[in-house]
Every structure is written in structure tokens, then in C-alpha cells.
Amino acid sequence: MVNEELINELKGHIINALHLEDITPDDIENDAPLFGDGLGLDSIDALELIVMLEKKYGIRIANPAEGKSIFKSVNSIAEYVDSHK
Amino acid sequence: MVSVIAHNIVSPLGMTSAENYSAVKAGNSALSLHEGKWDLPESFCASLFTDAQWHDIQQDGYTHFESLVIKSLSQTLPSCNVDLSSERTIFILSSTKANVELLADPHFFSSPEGELPGVAAKHIADHFGIKTSPIVVCNACISGVAALILAKRLLETGQYDDAIVCGADVQSAFIVSGFQSFKALSPDNCRPFDAERVGLNLGEAAATIVLSNRDSIQSSPWHLVSGGVRNDANHISGPSRTGEGSYRALLTLDAPESELAFINAHGTATLYNDEMESIALHRAGYHSVCINALKGYYGHTMGAAGILESIISMCAVDDNTILATRGLKNKGVSGDITLSNANNQTDRESFVKLLSGFGGCNGALWISRNKDHQNKKIASNNYTLTNHVVITPTSVTINGEPVVCEQTGKALLTELYKKYVSDYPKFYKMDVMTRLGFIASELLLQTEGSERFVPCEDRAVVLFNRTSSLIADKLHQESINDKHNFFPSPSVFVYTLPNIITGEIAIRNKYYGETSFYILERNDKKLIDEVLNASFLDSHTQSIIAGWVDCESEDVFSAEMYIVDNKTIK
């Protein structure tokens, strides 16, 4: 179980990094898919999330193909951050 | 008929077209691994000039970029009888980032006037005594092909007799770090169309083609038959999965497969580009003609690519040769196409050059040495201006009527978005210049009143400015200045190509027609008028979203955007 604090922090970072101006942390469900219809994210956003993880948590993802499973949902990102910190 | 009267390539493989062609035919490549170069934290594989070559290229009083262009022009112009001081000679420069490396210097960062592409073009024009105002084509990776198409049109409208077209880009930490943030670079030599390809390599070069429409000129048999630019209307960086824009650009050529020696593809060796091209070529019916790509010899030379690769292809046809695709071992694309992985013979006399780039743009050009391939009949055009929108940091007018607004500067653009659009959150991801152009186009199209979002190919988007993508350039530069706080961002870097704005408008409105971006030294109405008139030589184009979109800072900008209709169809 990942902690709520990290989840909320991640939501804030995602909103900032991806310029999701009209979205609040409460609009993003922990388990909902980030890509696809939900937030309307695209391939540049996926790359931007890689930069965000490196900048905020010092975690480097060399192969962008790995991003697909990591960025499935806020929960999956939190789990990844938790296990790589 | 628009004929090629001289050409040159200056690259790490040689200082003349002949030297370059010999090196490529022999299978040589200038790609090599660079570690610690420009203090970049990650190594990269690229085709770069050596220090000794730079010593030969560098001109006193000029930047790297300007010196490189001057070197290529100096090797070309003496061999052709072109009056450089004539009002009927135009200089067209193709470059994606021109002098951008200067932004790393705090002096230029705070006072970037000398860094601007139009200023560089003017320096170069003055060096050679060229009197007319130069045009910089800044259409991402298709700039070289787009510049040749523009030159062909400007000669065909009768405005000019001769056109000097040079494409060039110099590599720097700015460009390499941006592509690294996109995870687009291959750590080894790139492998176009190969099953194991993992990305592209960057390269630097300059290439020049001089074109003439004079009957009296002693020219080579080579001439430009047809060319077209089309947009994917899909995504600002990712290629269309259906190859939409490249497919449509290929169709504009009317080039029968049986007459082509080969098609020289973009073939960057990224997963998505090569797959996209294979689908576009397949859809356009090019199954049996050989497809090759030259990135394994030169890397991606950006603004030079379209011109450099066209010259190598002309040399190959002159030598009855279809060149191998260096790096290709096993086909790794799904389209039913025939790839060239060895030098082979041909007796055919023409080829197609294909390119695609960020902003969703795609360009195709048919070049031939067969005299039967005459240029198509050209109709004379005159356009009519319909609606127009003007936005400054403190005012907005639509067809001359002021719009009441409360905010100023960047906040004004957000106010307009909330009031007139509100349902396109991608707006918030755009940089300031793109927001400005996007909002101007929205106001313009709402005023036009036609049904929106109907897919079409007969409307082009052709924009101009002076400061290129200066705000995004500075943001990207700031993200790489500090080695210990080095976080280049793909969503910033993508907007360092000013033509992204034309792509955003095409995506929003499902415009598959031409999208072009030009940089001028100043807002020159006469020159803009000439380019817009010439744009109607694309026989599909019936109207253009056109205008000036310039952004110096968040508080200093101007947009004048209008719709022009082709008078000949009225």
C-alpha cells in the first residue's frame, strides 16, 4: 500500500508538469488510467513524466518503453517511486 | 522550366558534391560517438565537422552557422552565371535552428537580435552582394524540400529568374539535448527501416542548389517537376500512424512508379517515422520502386537534409546508381515496399525526395533529368483578403472592430481562450507564440462562420515572423545552462520549432493541406504577398490562413492573421 502523501504530491507534480490547468488533484482518481481518454495525455506528456521523475525524485528511466507500465495510473507511479527511491 | 544550374555539399564527408557522392557510394559515414562533447551529460552519436574542417570553414566576423552557409555558397556561385545584385535573384535559406547556439552566451541571451535567423540570412546575403530580401524557410525537418518548392514557385510566378537555395544547420548542446529529452537518439549508428532500429543520429552540413527559370541559361538537365507539402493533422511530434500527410504529399507529385529510379525517403531510423513512411509509400502505390535513405551516412542534417539528399540523389542518377541504405540489414516496417540495401544499377532518370517533420508536416519533390517531364501548366493567381484579426498585448480587433478585453500580455490570450474557445485544454500546453497564433486563428475562423472541423486538403496555413521561436528557445536554453540542474523538457523543446503553430492549427481544424512557416528580417508586406501568391501554385490550395505571428516576450507580441482566397476560382 503506497502512502497518501506521496499520491497527493505526485498529482500536484503531474498537474504542474503537464499544464493541466483545469484539473485539480481530486479530479484524478488513484487507479484511473492516465493515458487514453481520461486526461487527454499524449506521447509528449509521457516523456515529460520521465523528466518529472528525474527532476523530483532522481529516478532515471532510460528506455521510454518502460514508461507504459509505470505511467498506467497515479498508483502505479507511486509504487514505482516508492520502490526506486 | 525550373532547372538546377549548380550545386554543392559541405559536410564532414567532403567539401564538394562530387567528394560527398564518392564517399557515400563507397559506403563511408561520418557518424561517430561523442562523449563529454559540449559538457553534455549523455554521450551521443552524430556526424560533426572536425576541428580541422571548422578551421577551413570558419570566416572572420561570422558565426559557425553563417560561415558554413558562406562556405557552401562560395563553392557554388562562381560556377554559375547568376547576377547576385539583380532584383530578380532571390536567396532562400533553409534552417531549423540557424544561430541558436549563440543563446548559450549571456550577451546574446539578453540581447538576441543578432541570433535571429532572418538577421543571419541578411548577413550572408550582404556578404555576397545579394540585394533582394532573403527568406528563411523554417518548416522543421522538411525545410529543405519546402525551400526548393518555394523557390520553384517564385520562379514560376515570374517574380524572379534565379533562386539560390541553401540548407544548413550546425549541431550544438541546444539541439542534441532537445532530441535526447525526446529519447529519439540512437546510441549507435542509425539503421533506417531496419528491424533493430532504435532512433536517429544528428548531423551538420550545408547544401546549396541554384535554380533558374531563364531560357538562356546553360543548365544541367536536372529540373524540379512537381512538389507538395501536406499536414498529418494528427500530432505535433508523433507521425501519423496512417502516413496521412506523406501519402497526400506523394499524391501531389503525379509521379508514375515506372519512371522513378528510386524514392529517397526521410528514413530517420526512429521507430515511428520509418513505419509511417512505409505505410504512406505503400498507400501511394509505390511497391516495387527502390526506397533508400541516407541518414546512415550523414545523420539527420535537419535544415540541410532535403537539399543535401536531393543532390546526392541527382549524383546517383547521373551515375546510373541506386544507393544502399547504410545500416539496413533486415526490413522492419510493415508497408509493402522494396528497400535498397546495396548499390544497384538503374537506367531511369528521375527520383522522388520525401521528408516529414515535427508540426505534422510532410514534403515530397519529384526531380528529373528527363526532358519529357515538363513542369505542369501554371495559372496566374491573385488572392483576395477576406477576414482579418489583429492581436497586440493591449488590443484585439476583428475586421477592424475592437474587441473589449480586460487583460494584457499573456493573460490577454488566456482571457480570449476562456471567452471564445474554452474546450481545448491543449491550449495550456502551448508556448506563448503558439497560443497567440492559435487564438488568432480561432477568432478568424469563428468570424468566417463556415462549418468548423470538416476535414479538408484545400486550405493551407502559411505564417511568417521575425523572432522565430525565441521565447521557447530561451526556456530550453535555461533548462540546460546548469550542469547540476540539467532538465531539458520535451514539451518546451517541441516549441523551439516555430512551424509547430501551423501544425496546431491544422490539427485543431483537420486541415490536411500545406503548412509552411517563413522567417523574414522584418514584416515585409511585399515579400509576404509574393510568397502567398506563389503558395496558390499548389493547385489544391483554394484558401490560406495567412499572416504574421511574432512574439518577442510574454508582453511584446503581434499577430495579424487573415484568410486569403484564390481569386481564380471566384
Closest residue in A to B492 (Cα) is A48
Q: Do the chains contact at B491 and A48, CB–CB below 8 Å?
A: yes
Looking at beta carbons, which residues of chain B come within 8 Å of A45? Answer: 491
Contact B348, B209 (CB under 8 A): no
Rg of chain A taking only CA atoms, in angstroms: 12
For residues A69 and B174, the model is more confident at B174
Looking at beta carbons, which residues of chain B come within 8 Å of A43? Answer: 235, 237-238
Closest residue in B to A41 (Cα) is B426
Amino acid, res. B154: L
pLDDT in tens, A31-64: 988 887 778 888 999 999 999 999 999 999 878 8
pLDDT of residue B569: 44
Residue reference for cell 533506417: B192
Looking at beta carbons, which residues of chain B come within 8 Å of A47? Answer: 181-183, 490-491
- Sheet containing B44-47: give its strands across: B31-34, B44-47, B202-203
- A-B interface: how many C-beta pairs under 8 angstroms? 43
In the 3-class helix/strand/coil scheme, how is B6-65 assigned residue by residue?
A: EEEEEECCECCHHHHHHHHHCCCCCEEEECCHHHCCCCEEEECCCHHHHHHHCCCCCCHH
A60: contact with B, CB 8 A cutoff: no
Q: Which of B261, B366, B387 is nearest to B316 (CA)?
A: B261
d(C-alpha B144, C-alpha B128), whole Å: 21
A44: contact with B, CB 8 A cutoff: yes
Under the phi-then-psi rule, with left for phi > 0, alpha for psi from -120 to 50, and beta for the rest, what region is B285?
Answer: left
Considering only CB atoms, which residues of chain B are within 8 Å of chain A? 181-183, 235-238, 425-426, 428-429, 487-491, 494
pLDDT of residue B382: 72
- Distant-in-sequence, close-in-space partners of B210: CB < 8 Å, separation ≥ 6: B4, B5, B6, B7, B76, B77, B80, B82, B162, B163, B164, B165
Closest residue in B to A62 (Cα) is B183
Q: Which of B223, B219, B262 is nearest to B348 (CA)?
A: B262
A47: contact with B, CB 8 A cutoff: yes
Contact B495, B358 (CB under 8 A): no
B269: burial class by Cβ within 10 Å (0-12, 13-18, 19+)?
Answer: buried
CATH number at residue A42: 1.10.1200.10
Q: Do the chains contact at B428 and A42, CB–CB below 8 Å?
A: no
Q: Do the chains contact at B490 and A22, CB–CB below 8 Å?
A: no
Share of chain A above pLDDT 70, in %: 98
Q: What is the DSSP letter of B133?
A: P
d(C-alpha B233, C-alpha B221), whole Å: 37
Looking at beta carbons, which residues of chain A come within 8 Å of B429? Answer: 18-19, 44
Contact A48, A18 (CB under 8 A): yes
- Distant-in-sequence, close-in-space partners of B449: CB < 8 Å, separation ≥ 6: none
Looking at beta carbons, which residues of chain B come within 8 Å of A19? Answer: 428-429, 491
Q: Do the chains contact at A40 and B236, CB–CB below 8 Å?
A: no
Question: Which range marks the domain in which residue A42 is found?
Answer: 4-84
Q: How many residues does chain B have?
A: 570
> Residue A44 is inside which H or E element, if any?
helix A43-57
Residue reference for cell 478585453: B405
Contact B248, B284 (CB under 8 A): no
A66: contact with B, CB 8 A cutoff: no
ipTM above 0.95, yes or no: no
Residue reference for cell 481530486: A26
Contact B51, B34 (CB under 8 A): no
A71: burial class by Cβ within 10 Å (0-12, 13-18, 19+)?
Answer: buried
Most distant CA atoms of chain A, gap in Å: 31
User: Nearest Cβ partner of B487 from A20, A45, A51?
Assistant: A51
Looking at beta carbons, which residues of chain A come within 8 Å of B235? Answer: 42-43
Per-residue pLDDT of chain B (570 residues; tens, 9 = 90+): 899 999 999 999 999 999 999 999 999 999 999 999 999 999 999 999 999 999 999 999 999 999 999 999 999 999 888 999 999 999 999 999 999 999 999 999 999 998 999 999 999 999 999 999 999 999 999 999 999 999 999 999 999 999 999 999 999 999 999 999 999 999 999 999 999 999 999 999 999 999 999 977 766 899 999 999 999 999 999 999 999 999 999 999 999 999 999 999 999 999 999 999 999 999 999 999 999 999 999 999 999 999 999 999 999 999 999 999 999 999 999 999 999 999 999 999 999 999 999 999 999 999 999 877 766 556 556 788 889 999 999 999 999 999 999 999 999 999 999 999 999 999 999 999 999 999 999 999 999 999 999 999 999 999 999 999 999 999 999 999 999 999 999 999 999 999 999 999 999 999 999 999 999 999 999 999 999 999 999 999 999 999 999 999 999 999 999 999 987 544
Amino acid, res. B430: M
Provide the 10 A C-beta neighbour count for residue B32.
12
Provide the 10 A C-beta neighbour count for residue B158.
11
Q: Which of B201, B182, B163, B231 is nearest to B43 (CA)?
A: B201
Provide the 10 A C-beta neighbour count for residue B423.
7
Residue B537: CA count within 13 A, CB half-sphere: 26
The count of domains in chain A is: 1
pLDDT of residue B375: 65
